[in-house]
Chains A and B, each alone.
Chain A
Amino acid sequence: MAQSYKIMALNNRQMADSISQNEAQLVKDLRRRDPMAVAELYNAYADRIYSLVFNQVGRNREVAQDIVQETFVAALKSAAKFRGHSKIYTWLCSIANKKVSDFYRRKKRQTKYQTTKALELDQLGGEALAADSGDSGEMQEVTRQVLFSLPLHYRQVLILKYVEEMPVLEISQIMGRSPKSIEGLLTRARNELRTKLATQSEG
């Protein structure tokens, strides 16, 4: 079926919050497991989801790749449940965020005998950050280290707000919290980031 869905969500962040007709058609075709629709979904969103996950897991490529795969599999499985109350990208981000949380929960279970500190800067992320530092500026590297040292929900909300440039309402849909709670979370996350950056700059 040669059908072009023309997904507008890719570069147009001004689009209304509700699902567009093209996206609705894409979801309908995903429910039928149409291979064209699967390819359309993956090609349209894989890069952005990868980038989002990559930054959340301390720039670890292998972990990011696995989580992206899990995200798309989960999206296909749950396409029947998607009601179109949000954009497809928002829906995928919420699945990806849950998968990242699941990853850290599994890791926590595996390493619960280790100290909390070791968990904060876990081996995977720590090594990835260190390996990634060669070609980037010092400030970028310090920011990455500080960002990765924050609790996961702080990291997620900061990335969604400032890197993905999402409005609070969309972040609240992704994180399953009220907009007011997201604003509070953002304030705490910003303060923590500022404090840690200031400590780094003093040290």
Chain B
Amino acid sequence: MADFTSEDEIKELLKSACQPTAPPPELKSQQLQDLIRGAGSSDYGVTLPRWRQPKVGASIAAAVISVVIGYGIWLGQAVGAMLAP
């Protein structure tokens, strides 16, 4: 038995041991039908990016609004202090 020192030997060995295999045709057609049916219904709900998910989006919006309000209050006080005699 070879000692498999070269990459080519390993490649040849693995390629021979892991030859391409196709699933049975009847299974493929069944899986495809299931996929098309699932895609057409609401079974496969769309997974939105995290920042677009309602909970995360609402949290981000609340944080932004808080910062804007806080900045407004600070600005009001700062301007008031500047204008005070």
Residues of A participating in the B interface, judged by any CB pair closer than 8 Å? 31, 33, 35, 38-39, 42-43, 46-48, 50-51, 54-55, 59, 61, 64-65, 68-69, 72-73, 76-78, 80-81, 137, 139-141, 143-144, 147, 158-159, 162-163, 165, 190, 193-194, 197-198, 201
Main secondary structure on B side of the interface with A: helix
Which B1-56 residues have C-beta < 8 A from chain A? 1, 3-5, 7, 10-11, 13-18, 20-23, 27-28, 31-32, 34-36, 38-40, 44-49
Tally the A-B contacts, defined by beta carbons under 8 Å: 112
- Contact A73 to B44, CB < 8 A, known contacts A35-B39, A38-B35, A194-B3: yes
Q: Which residues of B contact A159 (CB under 8 A)?
A: 14, 18
Q: How far is the CA of A139 from the CA of B1 in the complex (A)?
A: 9
Q: How far is the CA of A198 from the CA of B1 in the complex (A)?
A: 8
* Smallest CB gap from B34: residue in A: A69
Q: Which residues of A contact B39 (CB under 8 A)?
A: 33, 35, 38, 76
Q: How far is the CA of A77 from the CA of B44 in the complex (A)?
A: 6
Residue pair B47, A147 in contact (C-beta under 8 Å):
no
- Contact A158 to B14, CB < 8 A, known contacts A65-B27, A197-B4: yes
Q: How far is the CA of A69 from the CA of B13 in the complex (A)?
A: 29
